[in-house]
Amino acid sequence: MNKNIVLIGFMGSGKSMIARQLGQRLKVEVVATDRLVEAKEGQAIDEIFKSKGEAYFRNLERDIIKDVSLRRGIVIDCGGGVVCVKENLQNLKTNGIVFYLQATPEVIYQRIKHESHRPLLKVSDPLGHIKELYQQRLPLYNQADYVIDANDASIEGPVVEIMRHLG
Ligand code: S3P
């Protein structure tokens, strides 16, 4: 496989689990942009948000995306907000096929409401905030090469569908 498989979508859409499965089945390396950012900065994502702010995080993420987009034949599990910086999707598409894992705000909320490490959910109305971000990002996510339904709790469907698109 020469192209990268790029997974984008909101937090809680199943990107990491689906990326891991694809990596195992296709026997290719999986990289997560969030983990690369953390390794580069020596700090967890929520710490970076807290101490340096979202704009600082987005700059780090943009640089990581630029580097990782140069690679070939890997699965790239992207942070949910990669689409917020326009050049990211362009870079990811250079060597990659981009899959948007689509899940509704309600499904996302049910999946992540008990998690405490998500900086963007530390607000008084998390579901409302998810809906707002979702609306803002939807046109950007839809610039993916393929939209994959990821509302079901099982990851088997999305994994099989992505592999079918890869041929
Ligand atoms: C973010 C999603 C997170 C992480 C950061 C910001 C977002 O990644 O990059 O907390 O803006 O949606 P996951 O989608 O992997 O949780």
The encoded tokens of residue 12 equal 């809680």
pLDDT above 90 (res 45): yes
Percentage, residues of the chain above pLDDT 90: 92
- The C-alpha atoms of residue 118 and residue 11 are separated, in whole angstroms, by 9
Residue with token string 């290719």: 28
Show the tokens assigned to 109: 């909320």
Picking from 110, 90, 95, the residue whose alpha carbon sits closest to that of residue 10 is 110
- Atom of ligand 1 at shortest distance to CA of 77? 15
Q: Whose CA is nearest to atom 8 of ligand 1?
A: 79
Whether pTM > 0.85 for this model: the answer is: yes
φ, ψ dihedrals at 158, nearest 5°:
-60, -40
User: In this predicted model, what pLDDT tens digit does every residue of 48-94 receive, in sequence order?
Assistant: 999 999 999 999 999 999 999 999 999 999 999 999 999 999 999 99
Residue nearest to atom 16 of ligand 1 (CA): 11
Cβ distance 101 to 159 under 8 Å? no
35 falls in which pLDDT band (50, 70, 90)?
Answer: very high
Best residue among 45, 78, 99, 123 to mutate for probing ligand 1's pocket (most ligand atoms within 8 Å of CB) is 45
**Where residue 117 falls among pLDDT bands split at 50, 70, 90?**
confident
C-alpha angle 2-38-107 in degrees, rounded to nearest 5: 75
In our burial notation (b when 16+ CB lie closer than 10 A, e otherwise), range 36-56 reads: bbbeebebebeebbeeeeeee
